[in-house]
Every structure is written in structure tokens, then in C-alpha cells.
Amino acid sequence: MSGNHILIRTTALARNYEMGTETVHALRGVDLEIRRGEYVAIMGPSGSGKSTLMNLVGCLDTPSAGQYWLNGVEVSQMSDDELARIRNKEIGFVFQTFNLLPRATALHNVELPLIYGGLKAKDRRDRASAALDAVGLADRVLHKPAELSGGQRQRVAIARALVTDPSILLADEPTGNLDSTTSEDIMKVFADLNERRSQTIVMVTHEHDIAAHARRVVTLHDGVISSDRAQAA
């Protein structure tokens, strides 16, 4: 596939929430194209709709209006279970609060998406170990989240996001719970993934110095895109 293959395309994407009698327009028509291999930061003040956009792009939610094509497939009208399959195959999530299962080992946490992908136990273990190895945690495989530092936990989460070899790495404030040194570490991991493996990354953040690591910054205001500019690495 060529480098300019369009991975994400939204047209007039809108999302309304019913809050009692009032309707909140969280997204008011977003047209966005993201190509394979891009590293995009989505910025904006709170309430600008960036989390809503993130949920839609991540197939956790369906739009009220507009279309969303992921990898050439329209996902905006899919059922719950179809979306689950898309999340499993196409998307790797990295959350602000890591969202690891506290009782499971690092290895088991990384194995989770493969379990739902229907892989055999041995394949799962091999791929999960390899993914942990890739983020530098080969010696922490059997540790539980509580026995790991914040940075290590986020690395486990990154390993989990990448273990299925997804089209998009979707990160929601990935450094929000980390100190600045650790944040830099994680940003290095992201940059590395983007440069060496051409991993498409979409990252939601409100911190400018974190967004500065991306090659393109999309800014949202009141549910619409207010600016969309490329920047040097």
C-alpha cells in the first residue's frame, strides 16, 4: 500500500448528546482525512469535542450524523459487535489512566486483545512477550500493574495497543498521568514507532509541548476544526 493511502476519512461527522431536554452538540460537522503513517495530535480546550472525536475515531461510539470510513470501510452504521471486531483488529488504545487490569500480569494484559481476536494460547504468549520486549519490558512480564512504575505501566499499555498490529494507535492524553521525564520517554517511543514502523498515531492532548512531537496538529473549537497544520518533527 502506498504512503498516501487514506486511513481515516470523516465527512460532516456530528455527535449530539441528549442531556435531559437539552441537546448538546459535541461535534458539529468534522471533515478529517488522516493518511497511513501520519502522526496527528488533536488539540483543543476542554469541551471542544476532542474526546468525542476520539471516541468516534476509536469506534467506541457511533455518530449522530455524517460518515466515517476506516481503511475504506464505512463504520458509522455498524452494530456493536462489528465495532468490537474493528476495535480489536484496527485500533490500539493508549489511555491516560493506562486502563490495565490490576489483577492480571503485564503479559496477560497484553494478551487480552489477542484473546478476543481468537488466537491460540501459545501464539498469544509469543506475540505478547515480543510486544513487551519491543517496549523494553522483557524482564517485567510477570509483574502486576501495581508493581510497575507509571512509565512502565504506560509501556505495557502501548505493548497491548500494538500487539494486534493495528492500523491506528489511538492515544488519549497518554502522558496526562506521567511526570515530564517519563512523558518524554513515552513520546520517544511514539516517535520511534512512527518513524521506524510507519505506525499511524492519533493522539489527543491539551499540552502544547506534547503535541509538538506530532507531525500534524488538528485543533478543535466548539465541535469544529479551527486549524489543521503540519509541523516539522
Partner 1 sequence: MSILEAVRIALGMIRAQKLKSFFSLIGAFIGVTFLIGVVTIVNGMDSYMKNDFAGKLFGVNTFTVRYRPFVQMGDVSQEQRREWRRRPRLYVADFLAVRDALDSRFLVTVESTNTVEAVVGARRSRSIEARGVSEDYFRIRRIDIAQGRVFSPQEVQHGANVVVIGSEVAERFFEGLDPVGRSIRVADFPYRIVGVAESVGRVFGISLDRFVIAPYTSQIKRAVNPHLVVDGIIVRAQDIPSMREGQTQVEALMRSRRHLRPNQANNFHFETADDVLSFWSNISRILYTALPAIVGISLVVGGIVIMNIMLMAVAERTREIGIRKALGARRRDIRRQFLVETATLSTVGAGAGIVTGILLANLVDALTPLPATVSLGSIILAVLLGVGVGVISGVYPASRAARLDPIAALRYE
Q: Which member of 25, 47, 78, 116 binds partner 1 (CB under 8 A)?
A: 116
Nearer to partner 1, 3 or 118 (CB): 118
Nearest to 57 by CA among 202, 212, 230, 233: 202
Strand 216-221, strand 39-43: pairing: parallel
How many whole angstroms from its chain centre is CA 133?
A: 20
Residue 132 CB-density burial (10 A; 0-12 exposed, 13-18 middle, 19+ buried): buried
Q: Which member of 37, 113, 145, 151 binds partner 1 (CB under 8 A)?
A: 113
- Label residue 47 left, alpha or beta by phi (over 0 means left) and psi (-120 to 50 means alpha): left
Kindly state whether residue 18 participates in binding partner 1, applying the rule CB under 8 A: no
Looking only at residues 151 through 170 of this chain, which bind partner 1 when binding is defined by CB under 8 A?
160, 164
Q: Which member of 13, 27, 30, 112 binds partner 1 (CB under 8 A)?
A: 112
d(C-alpha 6, C-alpha 168), whole Å: 12
Looking only at residues 191 through 230 of this chain, which bind partner 1 when binding is defined by CB under 8 A?
none
Looking only at residues 61 through 90 of this chain, which bind partner 1 when binding is defined by CB under 8 A?
61, 80-81, 84-85, 87-89
Q: In what order do the strands lie in the sheet with 224-230?
A: 91-94, 168-172, 200-204, 39-43, 216-221, 224-230
d(C-alpha 174, C-alpha 184), whole Å: 11
Query: Which residues does 19 contact at the CB level (< 8 Å), separation at least 6?
Result: none
DSSP for 138-151 reads GGGTT--GGGS-HH
Using the rule CB under 8 A, give the single segment among 34-42, 58-66, 175-183, 214-222 that binds partner 1.
58-66
Q: Which member of 58, 63, 151, 174 binds partner 1 (CB under 8 A)?
A: 58
CB of 6 to partner 1, least distance (A): 23
Nearer to partner 1, 111 or 185 (CB): 111
Using the rule CB under 8 A, give the single segment among 40-48, 113-121, 185-193, 214-222 that binds partner 1.
113-121
CB of 117 to partner 1, least distance (A): 7
Residues that bind partner 1 (CB under 8 A): 55, 58, 60-61, 80-81, 84-85, 87-89, 93, 95, 99-101, 103, 112-113, 115-118, 160, 164
